[in-house]
């Protein structure tokens, strides 16, 4: 738990304070101000009202509640029939504008990160249209006509790519204007599949400025990694024409095709690669990174996945330590693995897809690329040192995030938002704290980015309203959940309120005018 003020960013890119006299200090402060990175000044959250408590889900499906709670979380949300990724995004954006008193005319970019688009032509501009009309109804100015409206897609990493675009926009193009990034997704899986308990839905919007009021983002020292993984986690359009696809649901759905074991290997390998790239740019060691971080946030499709990733990175950090490490040797003995073998694996550059092609399709093609390190990391997770690391650097927002389920692109920013609001509630001082955000997108790519909390973070954090956003919830019965999931009529006691909804869907398909399948939206006060 962070309790100290002035944690101090020790990585490259931030000028340290100089105390050799007032004139020199002022000069140093001016230089630091000039070198300040753009970042995030505000955040807002929207999640649908229908909620599935995972304890109840375990009773319905015969799964172990103890296991599901420890590995996945406590609940997930389902969108109501009148919602989609665009309505959730628009609701989050409108909340951001109102909670932070943003002048819509000063927003120059609205970037949408999602893998749940319903339209292969338009995306962020649909969100813009909804927000514009509600702003007008409220007697407020519409968003700027010069607004850029890009959409970013790469599985769960699309939101991070959208954020990087917005940061570059405010740093180079904006001329004083702001940007808004919104991450919005619906994670849904077939009933009875191994991914069913990791569903979820929601949106997070972020206000991006050159002079941030919440945290800076150090893109100059961020790390990127990507590699093609073939059948890792995909949503190929052709699957909709296979009669065996999604037989449990006759509605239009977006269930992915995925290979869970293979996907886990890809997640661990790629996040490790991105962190390595970041550390090389920062010029610090693995252990310096872990011991010097004040907070760590990962993409979290479910509760255990970030812990597995961090334990994997921690195990490699011990193996790469320049001096003989007693902790490393003891953990290797406990795990029954060769210390030399783990060190050798740290030099591996595995070709997961190449091995898949070589071995042929099927479960046997999912080969563990770091078997010794993965086995060691399982022991690491239970070690006192690692548990201390979790308590001190991964605790903020973790418990709250267990109520969300998988939000795909919104999962990482939602956890960060929860962390800031919980720090405010618990009177934890974050000023100048050094945080790291590690994003991931199946298929496969990862980003590792240093963040620095600004001194005045409390005022911006006080407007996030994370708890308030979670409060609107209606627990579903088994019958309601199954009907909602399968696209059948479900009697739900959660009418839309203070949010956007789908009002109707176009059906005209004539030579002179067509709107077949086009959704029309409205705001419900």
What domains lie within the chain, and their CATH numbers?
Answer: 39-524 (3.40.47.10)
Q: Which long-range contacts (CB under 8 A, 24 or more apart) does 239-247 make?
A: 246/190
Give the model's confidence band at 3: pLDDT under 50 very low, under 70 low, under 90 confident, else very high: very low
pLDDT of 432 reads 98
What mean pLDDT is predicted for residues 261-265? 89
The mean pLDDT of 446-473, rounded to a whole number, is 97
**Of 231, 323, 242, nearest to 285 (Cα)?**
323
Gyration radius (Cα) of the chain, Å: 23
- Categorize the per-residue pLDDT at 365 as very low, low, confident or very high, splitting at 50, 70 and 90: low
- Predicted confidence at residue 108, as pLDDT, reads 98
Distance CA 401, CA 96 (A): 20
pLDDT in tens, 403-428: 999 999 999 999 999 999 999 999 99
Average pLDDT on 45-66 reads: 98
Question: Which of the four pLDDT bands, split at 50, 70 and 90, describes residue 366?
Answer: low
Enumerate residues 6+ apart whose C-beta is below 8 A from 113: 151, 152, 153, 158, 159, 160, 161, 162, 163, 181, 182, 183, 184, 409
pLDDT at 491 over 50: yes
Per-residue confidence (pLDDT) for residue 246, from 0 to 100: 61
Q: Which of these, 55, 64, 63, lies nearest to 193 by C-alpha position?
A: 63
Rounded to an integer, the average pLDDT of 67-82 is 97
DSSP of 361-417: SSGGG---SSHHHHHHHHHHTTSHHHHHHHHHHS-TTHHHHTTTB--GGGHHHHHHH
Q: What is the pLDDT of residues 121-173, one digit of tens each?
A: 999 999 999 999 999 999 999 999 999 999 999 999 999 999 999 999 999 99
Would you state the pLDDT for residue 355? 85
Give me the pLDDT at residue 169, please: 98
Q: What is the pLDDT of residue 465?
A: 97
Average pLDDT, the chain: 91
Angle at 306 between CA 62 and CA 37, to 5 degrees: 145
- DSSP H/E element including 108: strand 107-113
pLDDT at 1 (0 to 100): 40
- Residue 28 pLDDT > 90: no
Mean pLDDT for 96-118 is: 98
Higher pLDDT pick, 358 / 215: 215
Residue 13, pLDDT score:
35
Question: Is the model's pLDDT at 97 over the cut of 50?
Answer: yes
Q: What is the pLDDT of residue 175?
A: 92
Q: What percent of the chain has pLDDT over 90?
A: 81
Tokens of 473: 């919830």
Among the residue ranges 12-21, 84-93, 437-446, the one predicted with the least confidence is 12-21
Residue 381 has pLDDT above 90, yes or no: yes
Per-residue model confidence (pLDDT) at position 248? 53
Q: Using an 8 Å Cβ cutoff, are 226 and 444 in contact?
A: yes
- Which pLDDT band holds residue 364 (cuts at 50, 70, 90)? low
pLDDT at 369: 87
Q: Is the pLDDT of residue 184 over 80?
A: yes
* pLDDT reported for residue 247: 62
What is the rounded average pLDDT of the residues 379-406?
A: 96
For residue 510, pLDDT over 60 is answered with yes
Q: Mean pLDDT throughout 235-246?
A: 81
The pLDDT value recorded for residue 323 is 76
């Amino acid at each position: 738990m962070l309790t100290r003020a002035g944690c101090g960013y020790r990585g490259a890119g931030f000028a340290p304070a100089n105390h050799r006299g007032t004139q020199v200090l002022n000069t140093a402060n001016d230089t630091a101000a000039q070198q300040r990175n753009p970042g995030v000044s505000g955040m807002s959250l929207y999640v649908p009202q229908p909620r599935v408590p995972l304890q109840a889900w375990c009773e319905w499906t015969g799964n172990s509640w103890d296991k599901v709670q420890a590995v996945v979380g406590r609940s997930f949300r389902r969108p109501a029939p009148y919602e989609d990724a665009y309505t959730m995004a628009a609701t989050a954006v409108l909340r951001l504008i109102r909670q932070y008193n943003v002048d819509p005319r000063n927003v120059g970019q609205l970037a949408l990160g999602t893998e749940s688009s319903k339209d292969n032509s338009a995306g962020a501009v649909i969100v813009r249209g909804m927000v514009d009309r509600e702003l007008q109804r409220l007697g407020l100015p519409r968003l700027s006509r010069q607004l850029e409206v890009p959409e970013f897609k790469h599985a769960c990493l699309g939101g991070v790519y959208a954020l990087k675009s917005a940061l570059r926009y405010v740093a180079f193009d904006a001329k004083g204007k702001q940007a808004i990034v919104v991450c919005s997704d619906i994670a849904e899986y077939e009933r009875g599949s191994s991914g069913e308990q990791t569903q979820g839905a929601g949106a997070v919007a972020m206000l991006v400025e050159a002079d941030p009021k919440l945290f800076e983002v150090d893109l100059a020292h961020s790390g990127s990694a990507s590699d093609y993984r073939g059948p890792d986690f995909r949503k190929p359009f052709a699957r909709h024409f296979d009669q065996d696809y999604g037989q449990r649901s006759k509605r239009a759905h977006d269930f992915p095709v995925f290979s869970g074991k293979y996907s886990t290997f890809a997640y661990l390998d790629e996040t490790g690669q991105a962190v390595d790239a970041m550390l090389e740019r920062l010029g610090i060691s693995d252990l310096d990174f872990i011991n010097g971080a004040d907070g760590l946030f990962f993409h979290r499709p479910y509760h255990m996945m970030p812990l597995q990733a961090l334990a994997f990175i921690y195990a490699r950090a011990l193996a790469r330590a320049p001096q003989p490490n007693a902790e490393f040797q003891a953990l290797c003995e406990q795990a029954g693995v060769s210390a030399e073998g783990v060190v050798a694996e740290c030099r591996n550059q595995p070709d997961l897809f190449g091995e898949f092609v070589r071995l042929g399709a099927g479960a046997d093609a999912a080969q563990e690329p770091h078997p010794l390190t993965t086995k060691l990391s399982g022991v690491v997770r239970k070690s006192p040192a690692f548990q201390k690391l979790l308590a001190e650097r991964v605790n903020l927002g973790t418990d709250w995030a267990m109520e969300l389920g998988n939000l795909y692109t919104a999962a990482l920013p939602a956890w960060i938002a929860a962390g800031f609001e919980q720090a405010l509630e618990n009177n934890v001082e974050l000023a100048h704290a050094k945080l790291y955000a590690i994003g991931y997108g199946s298929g496969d790519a990862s980003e590792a980015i240093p963040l620095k909390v600004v001194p005045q973070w409390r005022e911006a954090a006080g407007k996030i309203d994370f708890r308030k956003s979670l409060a609107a919830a209606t627990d579903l019965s088994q019958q309601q959940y199954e009907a909602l999931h399968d696209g059948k009529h479900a009697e739900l006691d959660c009418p839309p309120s203070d949010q956007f909804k789908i009002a109707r869907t176009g059906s005209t398909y004539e030579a002179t005018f067509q709107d077949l399948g086009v959704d029309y939206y409205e705001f419900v006060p």
